[in-house]
Structure 1
């Protein structure tokens, strides 16, 4: 099965170029032939939101060559560490920096001098990083079956067909952004490359001129769209919004659900992880008003259950525990070095997500927190996600709020609040949780740092405390 369905097109809005299905296939075939001359092993690709990067990805995938899509903002030291651990055949579109030992600079790439390397497992097709541009991530291993099954499952629940047009406001090295690309191309739809982002006039001009029908975004983007006074009525073909990448606060769910229903469209709240290639559930837009805090049932081919503290699993309603997902899109496992690339499937299609939640009587999932997103204060554990929501409840004028664990306290960075407002919020949290206000250090910040995906860069914030 191919990832480039009949009729699939790519529109490069920055260059004014349209690649119809046949031309796209020819381009991908040409690039695949060039990649075949590289040494044995996985390919690393510094993947920007541009046509060149997407061609490399499609060429590798269609020709059966495993490829890791990396954030081009990855630091030189972090990239060098990854190269040392995994010994890729080549680093495509290498940075302007000295090549690491054992590699030669050639045609803009770093190519491994030694032709011999570990042969990746034959099922391995794609590797994605689990962290952002700081630190050295481990890599999620996805099979060809996982990528294709999730692409078609998402296309089914969103009714993606040849008439759909999606912009690339999420980068393709981010699992959610790649999923948008995959689900549209696989069903013969159109993808519009426009990398400037939601704040740019050129992006919205491309949305209008290219007739984009959908927009995928993470919670920070919805905060931004609210500040931009986004009105879907300005874009007559834009009738689908999707949201993943973290919990969207209830006020924004209600606001954007109402905006989209007013123009005959819908907001689809989704839940996923990179480890599931990446989407696991979708809330039908027509039911969102009835279950605004749910992320919906499992995608076609998937199954959700709850793991109780005693280790048993259940689908009975209202029982809380760790969310477990089963499906063909579950990763093969993690790779931390070159040897891990040769290993086969280690999970058998079962993913313990590390998220907390419960199912209702209809099998719809409600995610309530994250096992590892906890902060400790005097031995008391608190959900950092819940504390972020509590700050917004105490100070509705706040923009993004980000909580990180400190030394026996929780530090919360809040956009749009002054020092006095932060002190008031600290005392409100302390009163609510019966602890001293010093344990909830609410700090003003001009702008919460974001990763290229639009997610909050918690690691950067931890460096500030």
Structure 2
């Protein structure tokens, strides 16, 4: 199975250029040939939303070169640490700063001077960091077959065909954004490379000009689209919405589903993790209204089980425990340094997700929280995800909120305009949580913030917030 299917097109908005057919094939082959000439080892590629980044990725896939997709905004010290640990053959689209020791600047890249390097496992195709722009991330090792299997399963459940036109509205170094690219190219569809994102004016001009048919977003995007009073009727070709990257609150799922149904469109809610290449479920559009709150059934080729507190697995409905996923798209494992690049499959197709949830009597998965997203309030364990949801549904005027642990209390950052009104809303939120959990309001420190910080993926940057408590 080839990643770039017959009929695929890349529309480069910034360059005013479209690649298709023999021209696209030639560009990918040229990229593959250039990458094959680099020293042995993994490639690091700083992935901007541009044509060059897409061609580098496709060229590496074609050449069988393992490639780590890196956020171009990654902190310089973190990037330096990754280079030291993994000794990549090259850093593609390198920063303008001087090349690190052992590397030379060449055609906009940093190329390793030493000829020796760890040879990655032949099945290894893509590596993605486990965290955002800070910390000391491991790399998730994804196989070629795992990525292709997931792209094929997604294309099946979303009914992607050659008529579909998808924009790059998510970063390509983010597993969800990469999945959109893979699943559309696999089916010979069109990908519109546009860098401004769903909140940029240029993006919506491109939706109209290029006949975009689908839009992918994380919960934050849908919160913002609601504020902007998004109306799909303004975009006649746009008839599919997909959502992943965290749980979207139920009322917004219902609202956007109704908007799409009103124009003859469809909405899909999905669940995934980078470690699953990355998606595991999709709620069929025709079942979304009666399965609000569900992440959906497993994708074709996958299955779920629930691990109970006693360690036993079950598929019986309504039993809450850790969600286990099995499928051909499960990662090979993690890599801590270059020695880990040559390892084979260490997971055998089984992923313990770290999420808590249960299955209903139709096999639809419901996520109830994270094993590690736990805080304490006066010694009482509380789910930080549940606290966020409780604040959003408390009708106090808070839509965007992020909760982080802070000793024996929880700090919740609420996105609100400055002023006395914000302070009053925060007090109301703390009282609502106190009443709900039967704990004193002083255990819930609700603070206004201009903007909740986000990672490039659109997910909340909790690590940054933890540094403010």
- In the TM superposition, what is the alpha-carbon distance from 1:392 to its structure 2 partner? 1.1
Match in the other structure for 1:141: 141
Match in the other structure for 1:430: 434
Q: Deviations over 1:245-301 (max 9, x none)?
A: 000001101100100011111110000000000000000111111110111100011
Match in the other structure for 1:268: 268
Using the size of structure 1 for normalisation, the TM-score is 0.99
Q: Structure 2 CA distance, aligned partners of 1:296 and 1:432?
A: 28
- In the TM superposition, what is the alpha-carbon distance from 1:9 to its structure 2 partner? 0.5
Query: Equivalent residues in 2 for 1:14-163 (5 A)?
Result: 14-163=14-163
Q: Structure 2 CA distance, aligned partners of 1:14 and 1:399?
A: 34
Match in the other structure for 1:442: 446
Runs of 4+ in 1 over 2 A off after TM superposition: none
The counterpart of 2:456, out of the listed 445, 452, 460, is 452
Q: Deviations over 1:23-80 (max 9, x none)?
A: 1111010011111111000000011111010110000011100000000000111100
Q: Structure 2 CA distance, aligned partners of 1:284 and 1:22?
A: 36
Q: Structure 1 CA distance, aligned partners of 2:230 and 2:21?
A: 33
- In the TM superposition, what is the alpha-carbon distance from 1:396 to its structure 2 partner? 4.8
Query: Equivalent residues in 2 for 1:31-430 (5 A)?
Result: 31-416=31-416, 418-430=422-434
- In the TM superposition, what is the alpha-carbon distance from 1:135 to its structure 2 partner? 1.8
- In the TM superposition, what is the alpha-carbon distance from 1:416 to its structure 2 partner? 2.5
Q: Mind listing any 5+ residue stretches in structure 1 that lack a counterpart?
A: none
Aligned length: 465
Q: Structure 2 CA distance, aligned partners of 1:229 and 1:431?
A: 33
**1:346 alignment partner, SS class:** coil
Q: Structure 1 CA distance, aligned partners of 2:342 and 2:202?
A: 44
- In the TM superposition, what is the alpha-carbon distance from 1:378 to its structure 2 partner? 2.4
Which segment is superposed worse, 305-314 or 177-186?
305-314
Q: Structure 2 CA distance, aligned partners of 1:324 and 1:163?
A: 35
**1:290 alignment partner, SS class:** helix
Q: Does the aligned pair in 1 maintain the 2:426–2:447 contact within 8 Å?
A: yes
Q: Deviations over 1:211-258 (max 9, x none)?
A: 111000000000010011101111111111000000000110110010
Q: Structure 2 CA distance, aligned partners of 1:379 and 1:117?
A: 50
Q: Structure 2 CA distance, aligned partners of 1:54 and 1:133?
A: 21
Q: Structure 1 CA distance, aligned partners of 2:13 and 2:136?
A: 33
- In the TM superposition, what is the alpha-carbon distance from 1:453 to its structure 2 partner? 1.1
Q: Deviations over 1:370-394 (max 9, x none)?
A: 1011111222111111000111122
**2:290 alignment partner, SS class:** coil
Q: Does the aligned pair in 1 maintain the 2:170–2:457 contact within 8 Å?
A: yes
Q: Mind listing any 5+ residue stretches in structure 2 that lack a counterpart?
A: none
**1:154 alignment partner, SS class:** helix
- In the TM superposition, what is the alpha-carbon distance from 1:2 to its structure 2 partner? 1.0
Q: Deviations over 1:83-137 (max 9, x none)?
A: 0000010100110112211111111111111110111111111101111112221
Q: Structure 1 CA distance, aligned partners of 2:397 and 2:166?
A: 32
**2:62 alignment partner, SS class:** helix
**1:77 alignment partner, SS class:** helix
